[in-house]
Structure formats: structure tokens, C-alpha cells
Amino acid sequence: MNLAFGCDHAGYEDPAPHYAPALIEYLESLGHSVEHVGTYGQGSVDYPDFAEKVARAVLDQTAELGILLCGTGMGISIAANRHQGIRAAACVTEEMVRLARNHNNANILCIGRRISSIDECKHLIDIFLSTEFSGGERHVRRIDKMDLLGQTARTSS
Ligand code: RB5
């Protein structure tokens, strides 16, 4: 699968393992192709910039799905969700990830360096990549409503 990965400086936060390189290496070991859009080191950056890069990759369909990481997974998910058509889910449990894919058709998973262990992150990613959207009528209807709301908000401002 073609994936986009982005993070802020939390991706390189000490102590080791640094989550960004460790998770990318893990994904590549599973055979995925990963576009790492940055950041690439410990220097302080603004998470909305990297949320935007991953959102664009997903919206442009150069990536099927995206993975974002910050300290909590929260700021970067809020930023990603500002982009019309992005459904970014900040998750800490397997069930959250499963339902985010199954019901919400989440197209970006957001995880937190300071919240989940590296093994937990790998597990959340595994579930994210292996769970399909159910396609259920009620879920499609609800997602359509969110997209419509986004369009209305744009045109009425
Ligand atoms: C950066 O220190 C931190 O605020 C950021 O990674 C994230 O946790 C924000 O939601």
C-alpha cells in the first residue's frame, strides 16, 4: 500500500526509539511504500504543516492512507480534519481504530508519542491498514453529511 507519514518533533523525541523512523521501518518491512513528508528531526516545528502535507497526499491520492504522529495525536488530528475530505482519527485503542475505519472511513490515523508505546502504535497501525470501511448505508449517509457541511461552511463565509 502507498502510505503517507508525517509528524512533528515528537517523532524524534528522546528517549529512543524515535517513533518516526521506527514506525516507517516497520511499515516498509511489511512491504508498504511510505512517503515521509517530515519533519525529519528534533527541531521544534508546527504540527499543522505536516498534517497538511499528509492530507494533501491523501486527497491527491498519491497515498491511499495517511499516518500522523505528534505528542498526543490530538493537535495533528485537529489540524488534518480542517481539510475537506479528510477524516483523521486520533486513536489509542484497537476498538477505536477498527470503528474509525469500519464506520467513519477514516483516511488518516493519528497516534501519540507520549500516549502509546511503540508496540501499541504498531498494533494500532496494523488494525488501521487491515480494516475496511463497511460501506453501510447509514455510515455513507453520515459521512456525506459531514462533507456537505464542509462545503456549506466554505461557501457561506
Ligand atoms: C508539541 O510539543 C506537542 O504540543 C505536539 O506534539 C502535540 O502533542 C500537540 O497536540
Pocket test for ligand 1, best of 12, 72, 113 (most atoms within 8 A of CB): 72
All structural domains of the chain: 2-155 (3.40.1400.10)
Give pLDDT tens digits for 99-114: 999 999 999 999 999 9
The pLDDT assigned to 149 comes to 75
Confidence (pLDDT) at 147: 83
Higher pLDDT, 146 or 52: 52
pLDDT digits (tens, 9 = 90+) for 60-83: 999 999 999 999 999 999 999 999
Please state whether the peptide bond connecting residue 48 to the residue before it is cis, i.e. omega within 30 degrees of 0.
no
Nearest CA to ligand 1 atom 10: 75
103 assigned to active site? yes
Answer yes or no: pTM beyond 0.85.
yes
Mean pLDDT of 137-153: 87
